[in-house]
Amino acid sequence: MDTLKFITAGNVDDGKSTLIGRLLYDSNSIHTDQLGVLEKQSKNISKNSNIDLALVTDGLRAEREQGITIDVAYKYFATEKRKFIIADAPGHEQYTRNMVTGVSNSDLIIILIDARNGVTTQTKRHASIGSLMCLKKAIVAINKMDIIDYSEEVFNQIKNDFEALLPELNYNEVHFVPISALAGDNIVSKSENTSWYKGQNILELLETIEIETQENLPARFQVQYVIRPQEESLHDYRGYAGLVLSGKYKVGDEITVLPANITTKILRLERNLTDVEEVIAGDNVVIHLENDVDISRGDSFILANDEVKQNNKITSWVCWLDSQNLQLGKPYILQHRFKSVRVKIKAINQRWDVNNWEFITTDQIGLNDIAQIEIQSNQPLIYDVFTENNKTGNAILVDETTHNTVGALMIL
């Protein structure tokens, strides 16, 4: 059974947390003891006897007190057809970095739009961030249809307004659904209140939408740990443990070890302490090679006939995560999965003003800003372009003095 990871995004009070709560509640994915806790918490907040479904994800005390989502909350559930990991992202502009974190781990985005307000600046912002992070599939859930008497005319107008944005975005599959998260319309079952809507409900879409897998991409593996037991019984054991980031590897494959540029063959593959003939993207494995090669943590294995980018000068989008502004010329640590290199930011090409959909020339990048920058490292980085392989095309920047993660990178 495969797993779909998706994120919800929208303005404050558009109903993201309520949608997730309703999805879990109506699909019987909330345990009885959890329902009891939710009922008690709902009564503490409101005299209304109904359960406040937003509390399913709004776990922080500050979130409950303010009635907003601050942190990215993750929930897990499953149906007979698929497993799901849900990320509930904040709607506030000041929490853009939190949304970028959630989107980076998702296969699909659900963009909520309040039917009373239509497409807003924040709608454009969230749709743009999802597109920048290479999400290809989106569900536009037009919420609070109950408040506008389930008007087909309003639904169609909002749909047309959003479709007008699509030429600027990179989505290749977008579905529009009229819903009421509070009342449960078109969440888990079709609603009689929208008899004019002929499409699928939210859960049906989530269960049937096709997931693009990493398995069909070029094979990529980065060494996390060199296993060399100090035991006489395992005297000749040498394995390289890590995650298959994309593609597949088979016993007998000829590979190139980078950056040393040494060619050898795969002798054995271990998964879950068992020898296997083939491993695919997402597998945690131990790879044994035909020859003894000097290999360290962070080295990469690619198939011998494949190509990968190697450069110590890269251009990248960055979402700035730190309260201290980016400093040109200051040394940072670039962490590319298990490979660390020292880098300097040589130039800021442009900052993306998502709200106005324009690029601005600037020399200042601050918290939550998204910008295109030029980076120079002290040794070549082995990577793919983010739009072609987001597993090997992303990285983070770390301040080497404070050890804070200050930037999320999407390499161009």
Distance between CA atoms of residues 235 and 208, nearest Å: 50
> Considering the chain, what percentage of its residues have pLDDT values greater than 90?
62
410 contacts 374 by C-beta, under 8 angstroms: no
Distance between CA atoms of residues 294 and 99, nearest Å: 40
Please name which of 211, 222, 212 lies closest in space to residue 249, comparing C-alpha atoms: 222
Q: With a cut of 70, say whether residue 305 has pLDDT above it.
A: yes
Encoded tokens for 144 = 């609070």
Q: In the CATH hierarchy, which fold is given to the domain comprising 309-411?
A: Elongation Factor Tu (Ef-tu); domain 3 (2.40.30)
Band (pLDDT 50/70/90 cuts) for residue 68 is: very low
Distance between CA atoms of residues 39 and 320, nearest Å: 39
Encoded tokens for 366 = 């601050």
What is the CB-side half-sphere exposure of residue 391 using CA atoms within 13 A? 19
Task: Dump pLDDT digits (tens) for 38-63.
Answer: 444 444 444 444 555 655 555 543 44
Task: Dump pLDDT digits (tens) for 87-143.
Answer: 877 766 666 777 887 888 899 999 999 999 999 988 988 898 898 888 999 999 999
Question: What is the dihedral sign for C-alpha 179, 185, 191, 195?
Answer: negative
More confident residue, 60 or 250: 250
Q: With a cut of 70, say whether residue 247 has pLDDT above it.
A: yes
Distance between CA atoms of residues 310 and 187, nearest Å: 46
Distance between CA atoms of residues 20 and 389, nearest Å: 29
Mean pLDDT score of the chain: 87
Instruction: Write down the domain spans for the chain.
Output: 3-212, 215-303, 309-411
Band (pLDDT 50/70/90 cuts) for residue 407 is: very high
More confident residue, 332 or 91: 332
Q: What SS3 state is found at 142?
A: strand
The structure tokens 């709560």 sit at 21
Please name which of 247, 405, 412 lies closest in space to residue 332, comparing C-alpha atoms: 405
For residue 326, the 8-state DSSP code is: P
More confident residue, 31 or 92: 92
Pairing of strands 339-353, 370-383: antiparallel
Contacts of 114 (CB under 8 A, 6+ apart): 10, 11, 13, 14, 15, 143, 144
What CATH number is given for 215-303 in this structure? 2.40.30.10
Q: With a cut of 60, say whether residue 359 has pLDDT above it.
A: yes
Mean pLDDT calculated for residue range 267-273:
95
Q: With a cut of 80, say whether residue 32 has pLDDT above it.
A: no
Mean pLDDT is lowest, of 9-23, 110-124, 200-214, for 9-23
Distance between CA atoms of residues 349 and 78, nearest Å: 44
The partner residues of 344 in beta bridges, in order of sequence, read 331, 376
Mean pLDDT calculated for residue range 262-267:
96
Q: With a cut of 90, say whether residue 345 has pLDDT above it.
A: yes
Mean pLDDT calculated for residue range 66-93:
75
Distance between CA atoms of residues 141 and 400, nearest Å: 42
Q: Do domains 3-212 and 309-411 have the same CATH topology?
A: no
**Architecture of domain 3-212 in CATH?**
3-Layer(aba) Sandwich (3.40)
